[in-house]
Chains A and B, each alone.
Chain A
Amino acid sequence: MSFWWLALKDMIHLGRDKKAILTLVFMPILLIGILGAAFGNMFQEEEAHIQKFKLGIVNHDEGELGELLEKELFEKNLATTAEVESIEHDVELLRQLEEKQLSIGLILPETFSESILLGEESSVNIISIPEAEIQSSIVEIVTQQFSETMGVELTGMKLVAEAGDRAGNPAGFEKHPAPVILGNPTELPFDVLKETTIEPDQKQVGSFQYYAAGMGVMFLLMTVVNGVGAMLEEKEQEVYRRILTTNLTYSQYLLGKLLGLLFLATIQLAIIILGTKVLFDVHWGESIAGIVLVGLAYVFSACGLGVLCGSLLKTEKSFSTAGMLGTQILAAAGGSMVPLYVFPEWLKEVVTIFPNALALQTFLNVMSGDHIQAVVYEALILILMGIIFLVMAFMRLSLERRKSYA
């Protein structure tokens, strides 16, 4: 069992290296800290707090609805979100937008009221400065809902009028009925949506949870890249040859190294999970056993992938640079930065063989309430992947060794 000694040696080596300990502990805590600062207080405030923005409205509308939208809705009901400024001409609006005096410009066409009355198409322009993407979608939603609400009222009146006509009794509605008093279109009389999850005891996963898991999964890949990089460096230096002069066989050497790497990665993941839980109260799900199982399985497959990539590249230098870029690509494609469904179909199929993508989804499943039984299958796949990676790496390394002796 001499390979244990090698793993132990690596651990002691690591323990004495202050810088390594710093990166092992400090790195995740720093990143978690940033995550917490960015998303932490989302728990208290349900609504994302968008800063008040300036909205310029050019109202060409010949009817009354444009003014209603501007005065009642944007000026009164959205007073906390938008500061409304009436502007006469398009040119002036564009000039102010160009100079960033306004964030969003809204141009209502001449036929705005008419088209809503008749249920015909009309086009409204929303022009924004490049950084105001979210604000521009707020204006879009409000305008859309305004026209829909008005549409309902008008259609209702039309039907009443028609009913009246049929009864030979004109109900007294005019062609341009006085608009009814509007509530805030973003308010509803009661909760109309009942949100549930697939299983009754599951919970929805919030954005802080999502990014905590996503970044954690990405971070572990980086640790593995660093770990494997260190192995390659050792191989380039004379340390490796000296170790080979000992009683260790080649397989024992590899096993010992792998154990060290697994241990390192496990500590890392544990720090990330515990750190986010203790410091920022991130909920990692009910099932501790489930998280441990998925975590260990992921560590195993990530290390396997790292070792495989390490066996394919010769120098530490090229491995580290390619490894870092590769990690980012894997992490991004695996959904650590943006959710998976924004990617094209083919990519979604491809990423199913990435350990990080599978691990992330499984972590999220545990967060939403899956128990250990539900994740055993995924964990097994991860372990299987790890074994395949390692076997491939071992074959490649043995081949290389044989060549070097030949």
Chain B
Amino acid sequence: MHKVFTIIRLRVITMLKSPGGIVIMFVMPFVFSVIFGGISAQETANKPLVLLVADESELSRDTVTLLEQNPQYQWLEVKEAEAREKVKTQEAIAAIIISEDFASKIEQELPIFEVINQRQTQEYVALQPILEGVARTIIRSHQLASEVNGIELSHLLKEISSRDRVKLEREIIQKDGNKGETVSLMSVGFTIMFMMFGIAGAASTILDEKKEGTWQRVLTTPATKGQIMIGYLVSYFIMGWIQLLVLMIAMSSLFGAVWGNLGYFIPFASIVIVTIVGFGLMMAGLVKTSQQAGALSTVLIVSSCMIGGVYWPLDIVPEVMQQIAKAVPQSWMMSGLREIISGSLHTDSLVKAVFVLLGFNLLFYSLGLKKIRYH
């Protein structure tokens, strides 16, 4: 045991002293947190901007009021030229041109709104039902106004926009029955991806050490191969936790990110890190040089992250791909972390995620330890 500790101490100190190690363990997680923590905190602070181009007529004003009631977007009225410029530079997701002659447009069944957009992103797709909702309101109001005497369209629209809206509160189910707040889970996937790149790369150190001869020297010590291996693996595990801690502290203090019940989070995150270390070990076992390990693990990490739903939500991919996603560890890491961070803590999902990850561990470590050449 003493020998293992000595190796761990040596490895950790070496990593803490090398500039590369400091960059990987402290600087990168911090930079990462600043960028991605911003997205999570985004949801309330910085809504996507939608521009409105409307004239001064009464009906246009009413329409603008109706649209502006929607709280999910930030609405801004501008002149048409400016709107086009801002859509072009991607400052706004779309610009909506409102013309006043609704009546004739509705009668001829022509589009009511002209929407200028360059990129069909998720936020833009979500904007469409909102515009359609307002259009429906206008069409129906127009119908009412033309069918019934005594109602003026503008008056009707004003009445409608003065109504209070039904407030919809979305939340995620909580284990203990508490009222939960919605947390953004977007950064969970990116955190996993980040740690995979950080740790898997470092695990190929063994290959470098072999080349430089230090590995052989370690082998001459009284420590057994098992002890050396455990020492190395534990030191990577510690390194992974340092990264995660820096990330957690930075995101919590800068953006108030939540990490769920730590009693669940810490053990599960440990399994995740062990799995990633195992992945790195397997890589080191499969290839000859650290150069190859780097290239191969890049492909494997990026492609499995794509499959596992790290870059985009799995809801938007076909059924087959959703099934394939279950064959990569990332999807299980995500589902486990999602349960914990959101506070839902569904026992079955957690147990399943833990067991599947243990299965991946078995695969990675048995392959890695079998393939790695000590001499």
Q: Which residues of A contact B (CB under 8 A)?
A: 19, 23, 26-27, 30-31, 34-35, 37-39, 41, 48-51, 94, 97-100, 105, 112, 115-116, 119-131, 133-137, 140-141, 143-145, 147-149, 151-153, 155-156, 158-160, 163-164, 166-167, 185-186, 188-198, 202, 204-207, 210-211, 215, 219, 222, 226, 229-230, 233, 313, 315-318, 320-322, 324-326, 328-329, 332-333, 337-345, 347, 361, 364-365, 368
Cβ–Cβ contact B115 & A159, under 8 A: no
Chain B residues lying within 8 Å of A326, measured Cβ to Cβ, are 28
* A160: B residues at CB distance < 8 A: 144, 148, 150-151
Residues on B with C-beta less than 8 A from A197 are: 116-118
Which residues of A are found within 8 Å of B93, using beta-carbon distances? 341
Please determine whether A343 and B120 come into contact, CB atoms closer than 8 angstroms: no
Tell me which residues across on chain A come within 8 A of B165, comparing CB atoms.
121, 144, 147-148
The interface residues of chain A lying within 8 Å CB-to-CB of B318 are: 37-38, 41, 49
Given contacts A126-B169, A192-B111, A344-B42, contact A364 B164 (CB under 8 A): no
In Å, the complex CA distance between A131 and B339 comes to 8
Measured between alpha carbons, how far is A325 from B166 in the docked complex, in Å?
45
Q: How far is the CA of A34 from the CA of B309 in the complex (A)?
A: 11
Task: Report the nearest B residue to A163, measured CB to CB.
Answer: B150
Residues on A with C-beta less than 8 A from B115 are 193-196
Q: A41-B318, A131-B338, A325-B197 are in contact. Are A198 and B294 (CB under 8 A)?
A: no
Cross-chain contact A143 with B291 (CB below 8 angstroms) = no
Given A31-B303, A332-B36: A155 and B163 interface contact (C-beta under 8 Å): yes
Q: Report yes or no: B172 in contact with A342, Cβ–Cβ below 8 A.
A: no
The distance in angstroms between the C-alpha atoms of A112 and B122, with both chains bound, is 30
Interface size on B, residues (CB 8 A): 116
User: When the two chains form the complex, which single residue of A26, A148, A191, A206 contacts B120, counting CB atoms closer than 8 Å?
Assistant: A206
* Minimal Cβ-Cβ distance residue in B for A107: B169
- Given A188-B135, A317-B205, the answer on whether A34 and B303 have CB atoms closer than 8 Å is yes
- A348–B303 Cα gap in the complex (Å)? 27
Q: Secondary structure of the A side of the interface? A: helix
A112: chain B residues within 8 A (beta carbon):
166
Q: Are A97 and B173 in contact (CB under 8 A)?
A: yes
Closest to A116 in B: B166
Q: Find out whether the CB atom of A126 lies under 8 angstroms from the CB atom of B168.
A: yes
Q: Are A122 and B166 in contact (CB under 8 A)?
A: yes
* Complex CA distance for A235 and B294, rounded to whole angstroms: 18
Binding site for A on B (CB under 8 A): 18-20, 23-24, 28, 31-32, 35-36, 38-39, 41-42, 45-46, 48-49, 84, 87-88, 90-91, 93, 109-123, 126, 128-129, 131-133, 135-137, 139-141, 144, 148-151, 155-156, 159-160, 162-173, 175, 177, 185-186, 190, 193-194, 197-198, 201-202, 205, 208, 290-292, 294-296, 298-299, 302-303, 306-307, 311-313, 315-321, 324, 335, 338-339, 342, 344, 346, 348-349
Q: Is B117 a contact partner of A163 (Cβ separation < 8 A)? A: no
Given A38-B312, A152-B141, A321-B38 contact (CB < 8 Å): no
B66, closest chain A residue (CB): A148
Chosen A-B contacts, 24 in total, with CB atoms closer than 8 Å, are: A27-B298, A35-B306, A38-B318, A124-B168, A131-B338, A134-B313, A140-B170, A141-B129, A147-B165, A149-B140, A152-B137, A153-B144, A191-B111, A193-B114, A193-B135, A194-B115, A198-B84, A321-B198, A324-B298, A325-B28, A328-B194, A328-B197, A341-B123, A344-B45
Choose one: B45, B118, B140; the contact of A368 (CB below 8 Å).
B118
Min distance, Cβ A17 to any Cβ of chain B, angstroms: 10
In chain A, what residue has the closest Cβ to B198? A325
A205:B120 contact, CB within 8 angstroms: yes
B183 CB → nearest A CB, Å? 9
Q: Evaluate contact between B164 and A120: CB separation under 8 angstroms.
A: yes
| A342 engages B42 (CB within 8 Å) | yes
Smallest CB gap from B183: residue in A: A130
B24 touches A37 (CB 8 A): no
Whether A31 contacts B185 by the Cβ 8 Å rule is no
The answer to whether A364 and B119 touch across the interface, beta carbons within 8 angstroms, is: yes
Asked if B135 and A159 sit within 8 Å, CB to CB, the answer is no
Instruction: Find A156's partner among B132, B156, B168, B291 (CB 8 Å cutoff).
Output: B156
Contact (Cβ within 8 A) A324 B23: no
Which residue of A48, A149, A190 is within 8 Å of B316 (Cβ)?
A48
Which residue on chain B has the smallest CB distance to residue A361? Answer: B90
CA A190 – CA B87 in complex, angstroms? 26
The residue in B84, B311, B321, B346 that gathers the most chain A C-beta atoms within 10 A of its C-beta is B311
Query: Does A341 lie within 8 Å of B120, measured CB to CB?
Result: no
Bound state CA distance, A202 and B110, in angstroms? 22
**A318 and B20 within 8 A (CB):** yes
Known: A122-B166, A122-B167, A206-B120. A152 touches B160 (CB 8 A): yes
For A230, the chain B residues whose CB sits under 8 A away are 291
Distance from B55 Cβ to chain A, minimum over Cβ atoms (Å): 17
Q: Which residues of A contact B175 (CB under 8 A)?
A: 98
Q: Are B118 and A202 in contact (CB under 8 A)?
A: yes
Q: How far is the CA of A230 from the CA of B163 in the complex (A)?
A: 66
Partner of A315, one of B20, B121, B172, B317: B20
A318-B120 contact, Cβ under 8 Å, with A99-B346, A190-B109, A192-B135: no
Distance between Cα atoms of A66 and B107 in the complex (Å): 33
| Other-chain contact of B167, A34, A123, A130 (Cβ < 8 Å) | A123
| 4 cross-chain pairs, A with B, having the tightest CB-CB distances, nearest first | A318-B20, A163-B150, A119-B163, A194-B111
How close is B130's CB to chain A, nearest CB, in angstroms? Answer: 8
In the complex, A350 Cα to B187 Cα: how many Å? Answer: 20
**Chain B: CB-nearest residue to A321:** B201
Interface centre among A50, A99, A338 (most CB of B within 10 A): A338
Q: B35–A328 contact, CB under 8 A? A: no
- With both chains docked as a complex, state the minimum distance between the C-beta of A197 and any C-beta of chain B, in angstroms: 6
Inter-chain contact B23/A322, CB cutoff 8 Å: yes
Distance between B299 CB and nearest chain A CB, rounded to angstroms: 5
A345 to B46, CA, bound (A): 8
Q: Given A19-B292, A192-B112, A339-B123, does the pair A126, B171 have CB atoms closer than 8 Å?
A: yes
**Most chain B CB within a 10 A radius of its CB, from A115, A141, A321:** A321
A401 → chain B closest CB, angstroms? 21
